Structure 1
Amino acid sequence: MQNRLLAHSTPLILALILLAFVAGVALTGDRALARMAAETLVRVTLVVGLWIFVGNSGVISFGHAGYMAIGAYCSAWLTLKPQAKALFLPDLPVWLANAEWHVFPAAIASGFLAAFVALISGAAILRLSGIAASIATFAFLAIVYTVYSNWEGVTGATSSVVGLTRYVGPWVALAWAVAAIVAANLYANSASGLALRATREDEVAARASGIDQYRHRLLSLVISGFFTGVAGALFGHSLGVLNPDSFYLGITFIALAMLVVGGIGSLSGAVTGVLVLSLLIEALVRLEQGITIGEAALALPSGAQEILIGIVMILVLILRPAGLTGGAEFRLRARTPRLSFDQEQTTTN
């Protein structure tokens, strides 16, 4: 019983780390830092959702930004004012054009729509393995991006959809990030999660043991798609604006970079990678804008952010190939009882 509780201590530790992060930002009273904290926690939901599939299956996915876009636009369809939808999205079905949902059920619905698309797309993609499956996920992303960039009456095409309620602050994003972490931990320690990781370690041996790799991969992708879709909804409602370009290569590679830097082999690594790179990005953005130290003004040249992040990634991969956490989870350790003097004497005798 104690070992089981210790194994499930990871979500508690990660939740406390994120809570301390949000509380620290709140104490500063800096609105720019508050926005950064909300964006960081939305990324936690995204990267943890990505980890549910990638971390357990070992298949690198380039397509999760597509599920994110599906969730983001679904929330916009459900929550925008009918007048705004008539202006920006005139070809929506009547029932959807008149819908005006509360933001919370809209986020849930967005997750379920993304999960359903993950089920349909995964049913075809996951019959492949290795690099072929990864390329197929990128093809899925390209399809979603092309459709959403040209479906003018429904998605606004390349024009931005504005007017979304900006309700996602640090505390709302924290609640969803913790929910994603708990769900990811539960799945990783479930029979399906353990079986899927067995196929990741030795596919041939796992199949010989009767493990249905396809079924477990598909289940993990559906769960992953749900939280990725929710992350898309949160992303849209944190900025108040949607554009298909926000859900393409940029977000794909930064999410994978965070996963790799933190450590793709563990849930703790996924969260650590998001926090480290998000803080680094914020520091570099401020340095590019310029800071004043005494009478001296310092500013990084434009574009230095991408270069320095690339250098950090290269150094991490060279020095810590398994990521900053080394693939280990943050867990409480059992306290080893010490023998008293009388017990030692009894044992010796």
Structure 2
Amino acid sequence: MMNKHARTRLLAYSTPLILSAILLALVVAVTLFGDKALARMAAETLIRVVLVVGLWIFAGNSGVISFGHAGYMAIGAYCSAWLTLKPQMKALFLPDLPAWLAGAEWPMLPAALASGGLAALVALLSGAAILRLTGIAASIASFAFLAIVNTVYSNWEGVTGATSSVVGLERYVDQWVALAWAVAAIVVANVYANSGSGLALRATREDEIAARASGIDMYRHRLLSLVISGFFTGVSGALLGHYIGVLNPDNFYLGITFISLAMLVVGGIGSLSGAVTGVLALSILIELLVRGEQGVGIGAATFALPGGTQEIAIGVVMILVLILRPSGLTGGREFRLARPAWPKPAPRNQIKTN
């Protein structure tokens, strides 16, 4: 019979199974329904899952809100473009690329992994400086990092195309490709959260002074979580680029920063299940509002929501959640299998009687 520690770990590792099953059911339902608009929504939602789960690996475990993850997303997206675009397209749009990069034409999976790896490397270098700060100072520094990345990519014309869009990326990402990466992100996030580093990092989130007094190296654990987080955030950028087929620096700035943090807050930053729940809830809301802004026909009349309703509605939802349920929709709890009623062992000194 398993001991108590083994049973606890088994229940903890049931979380990715439940979350993956929910996402798989979504994709299967959309595929069977055969609606292209729903398939598009599912793919976008799953790309957001990769992004928000990547953000949760750092912010959820450390308690430090990062405004800079869209920068890692941009780095991953453009790296994938450098590696996968046809050489003729790169010569046209990105003429200043180094020769070895201008002639590169990688397969999609290695390019996605390399994109995540480059984002992780930048996360290591930037985090080495940013994470020497704590609290709001670290959050502001992360926003400064985002501003630097956006400025560089918006002006590096021969390498990133600057504010002109880079087009021609192969649109290979559908709901199934996005699902595979979403499941991978969830599994890695859960493994890290239940590792020694993840547990130590959450201890610093609850009480930094007590954690330091216990000998926990907060800087090292935060940096490790940021590197893992940067990898999946970079991959989400590559997925987004190969989903829409076009890259522009503005795609990876304030808009995506706001929506990813909103999803994390609404679902509940305290748990991995909250991160995924927030993505699903707000993605459904966004889809309904987008269709409402496009107009809904009722009989001979067409009714449309005013422009900007989407942003206002998301802001209102965030305010209501923060007021009514500060810990998010999941209350900071994980989705886990029900704890089985294990039989209690009989006392060793029990005497049997007839």
- Would the TM-score normalized by the shorter structure come out above 0.5? yes
Pick from 48, 69, 73 the counterpart of residue 68 of structure 1: 73
CA–CA distance in 2 between the matches of 1:331 and 1:65?
A: 30
1:145 alignment partner, SS class: helix
Say if 2:236 is the partner of 1:235: no
Tell me how far 1:303 sits from its aligned partner: 1.4
Q: Distance in 2 between matches of 1:259 and 1:215?
A: 24
Shift of 1:187: 0.3
Aligned equivalent of 1:281: 286
Match of 2:64 among 42, 59, 73: 59
Residue 36 of structure 1 and its aligned partner are, at CA, apart by 1.1
- The within-5 A match list for 1:251-270 is 251-270=256-275
Structure 1 position 335, deviation (Å):
2.0
Deviations 1:162-189 (A, max 9, x none): 0000000000000000000000000000
Q: Matched residue pairs, number? A: 343
Unaligned runs of 5+ in 2: 1-5, 345-350
Tell me which residue corresponds to 2:3.
none
Q: 1:335 to 1:98 in 2, by over 3 A?
A: same
Identify the residue that residue 348 of structure 2 maps to in structure 1. none
Aligned to 1:136: 141
Deviation of residue 35 (structure 1)? 1.0
Alpha-carbon distance in structure 1 between the residues aligned to 2:9 and 2:194: 10
SS of corresponding position for 2:297:
strand
Q: CA–CA distance in 2 between the matches of 1:337 and 1:294? A: 60
Give the structure 2 partner of residue 162 of structure 1. Answer: 167
Deviation at 1:290, TM superposition (A): 1.1
Counterpart residue number, 1:218: 223
Amino acid at match of 1:227: F
Q: Name the CA distance, whole Å, in 1 between partners of 2:313 and 2:268.
A: 19
> 1:284 offset after TM fit, Å?
0.5
| Identity within the alignment, % | 81
Root mean square deviation of aligned Cα: 1.5
DSSP 3-state at the match of 1:297: strand
* Aligned partner (choices 49, 54, 57) of residue 54 of structure 2: 49
**What SS class does the counterpart of residue 144 from structure 1 fall into?**
helix
TM-score under structure 1 length normalisation: 0.96
**Structure 1 residues 336 and 296, CA gap change in structure 2 (3 angstroms):** farther
Partner Cα distance (2:316, 2:19) in 1: 27
Aligned partner letter, 1:262: G
Aligned: 1:309 with 2:317: no
Partner of 1:186: 191
| Structure 1 residue 347, shift from structure 2 partner | 10
Query: How far has the Cα of 1:294 moved from its partner?
Result: 3.7
Gaps of 5+ in 1: 340-345
- Paired with 2:193 and 2:162, the residues of 1 have a C-alpha distance of 38
TM-score under structure 2 length normalisation:
0.95
